Amino acid sequence: MARPAPGADRSVAVLELLADHPDERFTLSEVARRCELNKATAHALLSALTTHGVLLRHPDEKRYSLGPRLVAIGNAATRGYAAVDFAPYVLGRLAAETGLRTAAARLEGDSISIIAQAGLGVDSDAPVARLPHIPPLGALFMAWSDEPSIEAWLARAPASEVVGHVLDALPAIRRHGFVVSLALPERERLVRHADQLTHDQVRALLAEIGRRGAMLGEIDEHTGNREAPAVHRVADVAAPVFSADGEVELVVAASARTPGGEGLTMTGAEILALGRRVVAAAGELTGAVHGRVPSPADA
């Protein structure tokens, strides 16, 4: 077991204080009070960090802020490990646990790219699959975005009915922490043949998918009676992986698509159980890169 390093913990506490309040500058006394340090310890720590350019100290106001050295450190950090580097292991374990094919996707410009897969039948040599980031596709990437970003995405919707369905689904996605995509023949055709379809054909399929309800909003474990609970045909269940700034970096999905594209018939309880497993896998990736899960107030 590693020995405690109180000096490192104190340095991190100071840096996190300043990073959480980028528009504020703090005096020695304020840093000591907020980080629960005595003044002598805080003074020695702030002096060392300032000497190395990690902090800046205003000569007149005697207040501290983050320093330029952190820019180089931040740039170096972007070339370190990312969530995608840990994805194959997590996807493999999720596939083994669920018996389903699993995948990770990220947003690349106007496309959603499948960048890793695991499970039976996965062809590791197959070309990267790409889907258009047009409503209703990609709702999980947008659920925690700011309002202008969501509006810009919704403006690309192929039909007005799609916008209404998506707006109804976003709060449920944030509440559950995952999204359930329903199995539809139009969706299956789009997934299998997106690169062979014309722009108009893609939009026509997306419009029909949106009208028919691409996502399951409310998920009730006890819908229906005990003898005949309500069931849904599910294509996949996906959850977000968050970066350090609280943005959706990746999406992890467990695919319930059958060879014919019909999807698996699942009850609400089964969907919730699968959703929890997928959320746990996505959470593992978020933790691996020290990502930040947004609070409800951020949405």
Over the stretch 26-63, which tens digit does the pLDDT of each residue have? 999 999 999 999 999 999 999 999 998 889 998 888 89
- Hey, what are 98's tokens? 């669920």
Q: Residue range 288-295: average pLDDT? A: 85
Report which DSSP code applies to 265: E
Closest C-alpha among 141, 130, 106, 161 to residue 152: 141
Q: Is the pLDDT of residue 79 over 80?
A: no
Confirm if 207 and 281 have CB atoms less than 8 A apart: no
Token pair belonging to 221: 């474990």
> Domain residues of the chain, as ranges?
6-77, 83-298
Q: At 207, list the tokens.
A: 């419009």
Question: Max alpha carbon distance in the chain (Å)?
Answer: 76
pLDDT value of position 224: 45
pLDDT tens digits for 205-241? Answer: 999 988 888 887 767 655 444 555 678 889 999 999 9
Measure the CA angle with vertex 274, ends 272 and 275; round to 5°.
60
Domain 6-77 -> CATH class: mainly alpha
- State the Cα–Cα distance between residues 258 and 261, nearest whole angstrom: 5
**Under a CB-based contact definition with an 8 Å cutoff, are residues 154 and 135 in contact?**
yes
CB atoms within 10 A of CB 143: 22
The set of residues, in sequence order, having a beta carbon less than 8 Å from that of 184 and lying 6+ positions away, is: 208, 209, 212, 214, 235
- The top-scoring range by mean pLDDT among 161-165, 194-198, 277-281, 284-288 is 277-281
CA 20 remoteness from chain centre: 21
Contact 187, 239 (CB under 8 A): no
Query: Mean per-residue pLDDT for 116-129?
Result: 71
pLDDT (0 to 100) of residue 77: 67
Residue with the two structure tokens 């194959």: 88
pLDDT at 12 over 50: yes
Residue 156 DSSP code:
T
Query: Do 153 and 166 touch, CB atoms closer than 8 A?
Result: no
Q: How confident is the model at residue 142 (pLDDT cuts 50, 70, 90)?
A: very high
Helix (H, G, I), strand (E, B) or coil at 231: strand
The predicted structure's pLDDT at residue 230: 75
Confidence at residue 17, expressed as pLDDT on a 0 to 100 scale:
92
pLDDT of residue 223: 47
Average pLDDT over residues 85-96: 90
Ranking 101-110, 184-193, 204-213, 290-299 by mean pLDDT, the lowest is: 290-299
First-to-last alpha carbon distance for the chain, in angstroms, is 39
pLDDT of residue 3: 55
CA angle (189, 191, 193) in 5-degree steps: 60
Residue spans of alpha helices (H) in 143-231: 147-154, 160-176, 185-193, 199-212
Does the structure show a pLDDT above 90 at 129?
Answer: no
Model pLDDT, residue 155: 94
Q: Which of 113, 154, 141 is closest to 243 using CA atoms?
A: 141
Selected from 3.40.640.10, 3.30.70.20, 3.30.450.40, 3.30.420.40, the CATH number assigned to the domain covering 83-298 reads: 3.30.450.40
Query: Checking DSSP bridges between strand 264-267 and strand 231-242, what pairing results, if any?
Result: antiparallel
Contact call for residues 75 and 38 (beta carbons, < 8 A): no
Q: How confident is the model at residue 252 (pLDDT cuts 50, 70, 90)?
A: very high
**Which among 81-90, 148-157, 259-268 has the top mean pLDDT?**
148-157
**Average pLDDT of the chain to the nearest whole number:** 85
